[in-house]
């Protein structure tokens, strides 16, 4: 039986990325087959959809780093037909066919059962971006950081990671400083829980190795000079969780914040995150993320508009999260 998918194929001149009809026999190896109902568009998806990114490691490749759906058949002891499941990372859209398809065959060891209280659409409104934001919050908590220590800065605040991070941190009692290059989104960020809005330019320009101590903690999805300035302005004994590179892969900083202020930089990876913290993150999201705030930051589009949203997210024109309805 055929199904629709967005597939990248290698050509002599680069890549083609387009809608195709595929057969179930073309799916990759795995012990669970899922009818995909929802996916989402993250920055990484935008890069892959552009056909100009090197993140795809094998061809052909079905794109989409997230999926939510219903198990159709399973050879895995942990899942059976009818189970609602979520999958983020594990090489989807890089080395294994992803979620931009009406069918997926994957390893059951990668799947998470849909947490009680969440719908499949809400799980994709969270998606990799929101799940990564929760991993950042857990990372800060693991370093003993608490709201009583001072404010927390969130960079890329109007994006997917930033939006969910603000909502989670504000609910936990943090005073959130939101950094954004989109001044028109100030009201939106305050509705999510931001106490203060600062201009992206104040962090994106070259700064001093040690700046004025402004915040106790940070969640950064930008990298490069922005992360360097966040670190330089973190208070003594503070911690910063870094999870993105929208501004670049470099880090033009010095050892000064680390050896003079004891600042800690924590790398957060969502792709190959082990299952115990992955399950903890999803359980916390189901418990702690305000559904009204999640709805406020989310738009829903049909499968056909995936390319349009991918281009917009690369241009910085997407606020919050996007749910892609793959099938009913």
Domains in the chain: boundaries: 2-114+298-325, 126-267
126-267 domain in CATH 3.40.50.720? yes
Omega within 30 of 0 (cis) for the link into 230:
no
Cα dihedral value 120, 125, 128, 129, nearest 10: -170
Retrieve residue 275's tokens: 């299952």
Mean of per-residue pLDDT scores for the chain: 96
The reported pLDDT for the residue numbered 253 is 96
**Residue-wise burial string across 260-296, b where 16 or more C-beta atoms lie within 10 A, e elsewhere:** ebebbbbebebeebeeeebeebbebbbeebeeebbee
The reported pLDDT for the residue numbered 328 is 67
d(C-alpha 169, C-alpha 205), whole Å: 26
Residue located via tokens 């208070």: 235
Beta-carbon contacts of 161 under 8 Å, excluding residues fewer than 6 positions away, are 129, 130, 132, 133, 136, 219, 221, 243, 244
Retrieve residue 85's tokens: 């499941």
d(C-alpha 29, C-alpha 132), whole Å: 27
Please state which architecture CATH assigns to domain 2-114+298-325. Answer: Alpha-Beta Complex (3.90)
Model pLDDT for residues 263-294, shown as the tens digit of each residue: 999 999 999 999 999 999 999 999 999 999 99
User: Helices (H), strands (E): how many in the chain?
Assistant: 10, 16
Question: Hey, which residues does 61 pair with through a beta bridge?
Answer: 8
Residue 109, number of CB atoms within 10 A of its CB: 12
d(C-alpha 218, C-alpha 264), whole Å: 10
DSSP sequence for 29-44 = S-SEEEEEEEEE--HH
Residue 75, number of CB atoms within 10 A of its CB: 10
For the chain, list residues with pLDDT below 70: 328
Residue 306, number of CB atoms within 10 A of its CB: 24
The reported pLDDT for the residue numbered 263 is 98
Q: Which residue, among 254, 194, 250, 204, has the nearest Cα to 229 in the 3D structure? A: 204
């Amino acid at each position: 039986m055929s199904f629709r998918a967005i597939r990248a194929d290698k050509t002599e001149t680069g890549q083609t990325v387009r809608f195709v009809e595929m057969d179930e026999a073309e799916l990759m190896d795995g012990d669970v087959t899922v009818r995909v109902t929802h996916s989402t568009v993250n920055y990484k998806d935008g890069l892959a959809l552009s056909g100009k990114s090197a993140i795809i490691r094998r061809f052909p490749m079905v794109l989409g780093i997230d999926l939510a759906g219903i198990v159709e058949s399973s050879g895995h002891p942990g899942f059976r037909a009818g189970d609602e499941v979520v999958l983020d990372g594990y090489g989807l859209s890089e080395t294994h066919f992803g979620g931009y398809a009406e069918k997926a065959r994957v390893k059951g060891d990668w799947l998470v059962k849909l947490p009680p209280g969440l719908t499949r659409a809400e799980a994709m409104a969270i998606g990799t971006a929101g799940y990564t934001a929760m991993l950042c919050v857990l990372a800060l908590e693991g370093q003993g950081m608490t709201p009583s220590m001072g404010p927390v800065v969130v960079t890329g605040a109007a994006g997917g990671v930033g939006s969910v991070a603000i909502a989670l941190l504000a609910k936990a009692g943090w005073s959130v400083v939101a950094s954004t290059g989109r001044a028109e989104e100030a009201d939106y960020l305050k509705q999510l829980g931001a106490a203060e809005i600062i201009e992206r330019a104040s962090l994106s320009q070259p700064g001093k190795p040690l700046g004025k101590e402004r915040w106790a903690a940070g969640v950064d999805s930008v990298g490069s000079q922005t992360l360097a300035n966040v670190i330089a302005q973190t208070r003594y004994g503070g911690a910063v969780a870094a999870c993105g590179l929208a501004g670049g892969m470099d880090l033009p900083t010095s050892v000064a914040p680390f050896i003079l202020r004891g600042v800690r930089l924590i790398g957060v990876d969502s792709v190959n995150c082990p299952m115990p913290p992955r399950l903890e993150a999803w359980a916390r999201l189901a418990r702690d993320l305000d559904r009204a705030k999640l709805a406020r930051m989310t738009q829903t589009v049909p499968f056909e508009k995936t390319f349009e949203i991918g281009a917009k997210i690369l241009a910085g024109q997407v606020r919050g999260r996007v749910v892609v309805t793959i099938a009913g």
